Amino acid sequence: MTLPVIAVLTLLALAVAGCGDTTAGSDGDAAGPGAGASDSGRATAAPADGVYVATDVSGRSLVEGTRVRLTWKGDQLSADAGCNQMSGSASVADGRLVVTGLGMTEMGCEPGRMEQDEWVADLLTSRPRIATGADGFTLTGQSVTARFATEPPPEDVSLEGTTWLLESTVDGDVASSSVGGPAASTPRFRIADGRVVGFDGCDELSGPVDVTADSIAAGGDLGGTERQCLVAGAPLADLLGGSTYVVEGDRLTLTRGEISLVLRAE
């Protein structure tokens, strides 16, 4: 039996419409099968909680002496690219990393480090493709691809006998970085044989100190030189005068009230 011409054309139109019913996703890709699934339809899990370091980066060169370090914890992602500290909410959807509300400290560093901060922030917020593996993950953006591997947690460094360098100051909800300035101006301290010696960025500090399992208390005035500096020193003497402390790997956090100092072992 021969079908009428109108019926044949109608069937052809329906067939063409069915073949073209694909919605484009971001960057022109076909939409994925749903949240948490890759573009190929396979489930893409978020990375396990932990610290990851970039082991291979294409599209950009890292500034000498720096590294890109990401810390994933629950739905929070923090990043350190050599200057400022970044943090925001993170999830995986449709095979892509979705970072929202990325905040950054406002420390001024040398131009190369600041530019590195910018492109790392751009990569994280551009909804890059993410491919997770047993020991890390790969982020693929429009112009940068970075492979991140799990960083083994370092053994806890001893509080005493170690020189601690200030990385950031947290006052309530406000954080400021101390990374990127001249090394000689970095606030620091060292405790040994019942005494503490240090430098707060302006004054030299020295005096007796008592250390317990979770607290530090310097005895009396730490004997600052009381120099007149253009920039006030960090509140190092105040916190060494009485604070609690926590050592995690090569990081030390001193806390007194709403103020915390985050330091790293030299």
- 85 vs 23: which has the higher pLDDT: 85
Question: What is the phi-psi region of residue 136: left when phi exceeds 0, alpha when psi lies from -120 to 50, beta otherwise?
Answer: left
Nearest to 122 by CA among 147, 105, 97: 97
Residues 211-262 pLDDT 10s: 999 999 988 777 655 555 545 556 888 888 899 999 988 889 999 998 889 8
Q: Domain boundary residue among 118, 150, 182?
A: 150
The CATH number of whichever domain residue 87 belongs to comes to 2.40.128.270
Question: What does the alpha-carbon distance between residue 236 and residue 73 come to, in Å, rounded to a whole number?
Answer: 29
Q: Is the CB of residue 121 less than 8 Å from the CB of residue 71?
A: no
Does residue 9 lie within any of the structural domains? Answer: no
Asked if residue 167 and residue 143 are part of one domain, the reply reads: no
Question: What does the alpha-carbon distance between residue 38 and residue 135 come to, in Å, rounded to a whole number?
Answer: 19
Asked if residue 182 and residue 123 are part of one domain, the reply reads: no
Q: Domain boundary residue among 150, 183, 211?
A: 150
CB atoms within 10 A of CB 61: 9
Does residue 62 lie within any of the structural domains? Answer: yes
Does residue 196 lie within any of the structural domains? Answer: yes
Q: What is the pLDDT of residue 169?
A: 84
- Report how far apart, in Å, the C-alpha atoms of 3 and of each of 7, 10, 13, 108 are: 6, 11, 15, 76
Residues 41-94 pLDDT 10s: 345 688 999 899 999 999 999 999 899 999 999 999 999 998 888 999 999 999
Q: Domain boundary residue among 150, 180, 200?
A: 150
Please state the domain count of the chain. Answer: 2
